[in-house]
Amino acid sequence: MVQRFSVVGGSPARIDGIEKVTGTAKYAADYTLPGMLYGKIKRSPHAYARVLSIDTSKAEALPGVKAVLTYADVPHVKHAGAPVPRTGSLKADQTILTDVARFVGDGIAAVTAVSEEIAEEALELIEVEYEILTPVLSVDAAQQTDAPEIHDTAANIITQPIIMKNGDMEQGFAEADYVFEAVYNTGRPVPCYMEPNACVCQFDQSGKLTIWSSTQGAFMVRGTLSEVLGIPLNKIQVIVEHMGGGFGAKQDLYQHEYVCALLAKKTGRPVKMEYTRKETFLASKTRHPVTVRLKQGVKKDGTVTAREALYLSNTGGYASHGPGVTAVGTIDLTSLYRCNETWDLEGRSVYTNVPMAGAFRGYGAVQGFFALDVQMDELAELLNMDPIEFRLKNAVGEGDISPSGHRLHGDAFADCLRRGAEEVAWVDKWQSPKTKSGRVRSGLGVGTEMHSSGAYPDIKEMSSAVVQLNQDGSVNLMTGVADLGTGAWTAMAQIAAEELGILLADIQVTAGDTDATPFDGGAYASRTTHIGGKATQKAAADLKRKLLTFAAEKLAVDVTELDLKNGRILINNTPSITLKELLKEEGNIPTPALIGEATHYAKVAYSFAAHFAEVDVDTETGQVTVKKVTAVHEIGKAINRIGVEGQIEGGIQQGIGHSLTEDFIMHPETGRPLNPSFVDYKMPLSMDMPPIETVILETQPDLGGPFGAKGVGEDPIIAIGPAIANAVYNAIGVRIRELPITPEKVLQALREKEA
């Protein structure tokens, strides 16, 4: 029986839409408090250097400067950028300020002044004497026996390598008719969120810290500040009214949040700190550049018999999410395509003296699945098989092991491949690259992925919600989930309204305030709708149960006879009085308080996608133009359809940039970033975007999510990269195994082919 929905599955207007389109929405940097000061951080110009001395006297003497901090003035608590629940994927190696700079942009000192201009001037007056050390700028250099140890770890490997072994590798490769091995490289794209990192900190007379911050995890900010600064949790309030994007990089804290709090405490005045755009490049997070050495055995009938890989991740000057990203990327290579459960996989996360890499949409899977899916295309050609046919033969499905160790249910992956092939008329349209000629050649390629909704079992996933009924029938939903600009709060309101049986307009969402909402882990791992939404659904169900019990007593009927639809009580499916009429006060006696609450502990669910990219390649200029993308996603249930489509289209735009133009480039000898601005770092704009056809499948709903919904936030950026790479090969017959695929790389590959 198909469940019919009143609110879920539609595309209602965003509940925060009016504020955003009118410009009244307040972001962290929009807050201005009486007596507010402005903070700035002095950053190292060297990729690797030891601070020998700092003279702050001239800065302190500058009129308008209120405080200066150095490494000597701050707590020396090492942290990982996030609190204890996340340390399984992190390593504590950062300090608030440092006396050893490990990348260009590392924070050495900080000032606060009555204006940003004076604060900037004060930074120039701080005199730092450095011992300049020889930087280690590549993973290969970092693992040499004579390489300096950036953090006192052997071969600069952050933690013990990730090792995944299963089956008999020798037998697996012996059973193969062909063994194929190649190396794949991904670039260093930057999240490029529109809202720079910013915060405002203020202490009150009781010693309570209030921080307005642009963060994906308000409770993570509260927890980390508590650990590092030694402030009790109930003395920290984190407020996030609106956010202008994060893409994973705003999961953790940066130096400015700790420094801002310390400067506010030292001066007794509120302090604002906001990164410049250049600082978001230097001192925020990038994606991890990864090298994957991948080897697979395959039979003539298309059966993959064994898989061997080395996943090498460049994490930069500090670990951040390096161990977690490497673990996910390595473990993911056990999935997506069967290999007779025979694999030998190793993942290493390596320190270098370049800006930090961290959590970024697609968290390790972007890099691993790029290598795997491109090689699946290569294997199909080796076997003279159709690329879709070959993928379908090996696609994971019912009963296969997922990266979390759980068995999969259903064949959603195959559904995506078949539907996509049908949409693009693959059988009629796809042709071997050997048939292509002319200056501009067209190609068609497919890219695939699977992604979890949440990070279980590595993280004990949970979320909570509270739903309160008002005396006029309206409802207040209190949720701790973060909204990065994705419409998450609108989705939570839809879920609550659907479960309760009331109108969306009767839901008021309270979020983004750790003092006013229950705990949620934050926005990461495509978990928000799946986990936060399920907590909301459970809380709404709890309230509905209590409400119908109250109604049964008041109407003198059995509770089993009642339901609530569109704000009206139903008795044996016949509309009766409205909820407002039911709750009408009798005299001066108010309606009893009716509150629903829930905490949801989640396990794991998987979404799947297949992207089909059509490209033109100009063989004289090397220019690659994406002409059309057809994206098929299986997500269980779309809570907000236009929101899902927006996530898919946005992920594709980001992925096109990562595949063709975006790469944060360092000077090969000094480690100095060469393109830390929107002028020199090239992203695709609206006029660069191709038509996108989005197909949303709901074939495998997951009962662990609200109304069967699974995550979709990260999926589209994973599948588009290999789709483009495979389409480029299909156009010109030259395989490029490195992102981004620039015109220079295309021309070089063509020259090598002709040589």
Phi then psi dihedrals of residue 127, to 5 deg:
-100, 120
- pLDDT digits 0-9 by tens, 138-164: 999 999 999 999 998 989 999 889 999
pLDDT band at 404 (very low <50, low <70, confident <90, very high): confident
Number of H helices and number of E strands within the chain?
Answer: 19, 26
- pLDDT digits 0-9 by tens, 479-521: 999 999 999 999 999 999 999 999 999 999 999 999 999 999 9
pLDDT band at 223 (very low <50, low <70, confident <90, very high): very high
- Give the E-state strand segments of 176-253 in sequence order: 178-185, 198-203, 209-213, 236-239
- pLDDT digits 0-9 by tens, 248-276: 999 989 999 999 999 999 999 999 999 99
pLDDT band at 90 (very low <50, low <70, confident <90, very high): confident
Length of the chain: 755
Q: Quick one: how far is CA 212 from the chain centroid? A: 21
Q: Which residues pair with 202 in a beta bridge?
A: 210
pLDDT band at 588 (very low <50, low <70, confident <90, very high): low
User: Averaged over 465-477, what is the pLDDT?
Assistant: 95
Neighbours of 76 (CB within 10 A): 12
Determine the pLDDT at residue 66.
98
Determine the pLDDT at residue 585.
67
User: Averaged over 325-343, what is the pLDDT?
Assistant: 96
- Angle, helix 387-394 to helix 412-423, in steps of 10 degrees: 170
pLDDT for residue 89 is more than 80: no
Determine the pLDDT at residue 685.
94
Q: Mean pLDDT for the chain?
A: 95
pLDDT band at 87 (very low <50, low <70, confident <90, very high): low
Q: Which residue in 708, 687, 702, 697 sits closest to 630, CA to CA?
A: 697
Determine the pLDDT at residue 367.
98
Which DSSP string do the residues of 633-664 spell out, in sequence order? EE-S--SSHHHHHHHHHHHHHHHHHHHHT---
User: What is the rounded distance in angstroms from the CA atom of residue 559 to the CA atom of residue 554?
Assistant: 11
User: Averaged over 195-199, what is the pLDDT?
Assistant: 98
Phi then psi dihedrals of residue 669, to 5 deg:
-110, -35
pLDDT band at 44 (very low <50, low <70, confident <90, very high): very high
- The DSSP H or E segment spanning 351 is strand 343-351
pLDDT for residue 722 is more than 60: yes
Determine the pLDDT at residue 337.
98
Determine the pLDDT at residue 593.
84
pLDDT for residue 465 is more than 70: yes
Q: Which amino acid is at 330?
A: T
8 Å CB contact between 313 and 325? yes
Cα 185 to Cα 15, 567, 721, distances in angstroms: 42, 55, 12
User: What domains does the chain contain, in order, with CATH numbers?
Assistant: 17-24+462-601 (3.30.365.10), 31-133+194-245+250-282 (3.90.1170.50), 369-451+605-754 (3.30.365.10)
User: What is the rounded distance in angstroms from the CA atom of residue 40 to the CA atom of residue 118?
Assistant: 10
- The DSSP H or E segment spanning 180 is strand 178-185
8 Å CB contact between 196 and 280? yes
Question: Quick check: pTM over 0.75?
Answer: yes
Determine the pLDDT at residue 516.
97
Q: Which amino acid is at 172?
A: G
User: Averaged over 605-618, what is the pLDDT?
Assistant: 98
8 Å CB contact between 706 and 534? yes
pLDDT for residue 1 is more than 60: no
Q: Which amino acid is at 366?
A: V
Determine the pLDDT at residue 56.
98
- pLDDT digits 0-9 by tens, 524-556: 999 999 999 999 999 999 999 999 999 999 999
User: What is the rounded distance in angstroms from the CA atom of residue 606 to the CA atom of residue 535?
Assistant: 18
Determine the pLDDT at residue 709.
98
- Alpha-carbon Rg for the chain in angstroms: 27
Q: Quick one: how far is CA 618 from the chain centroid? A: 33
Determine the pLDDT at residue 81.
87
Q: Which residues pair with 586 in a beta bridge?
A: 589
Determine the pLDDT at residue 405.
85
Q: Which residue in 401, 377, 361, 397 sits closest to 715, CA to CA?
A: 361
Determine the pLDDT at residue 309.
98
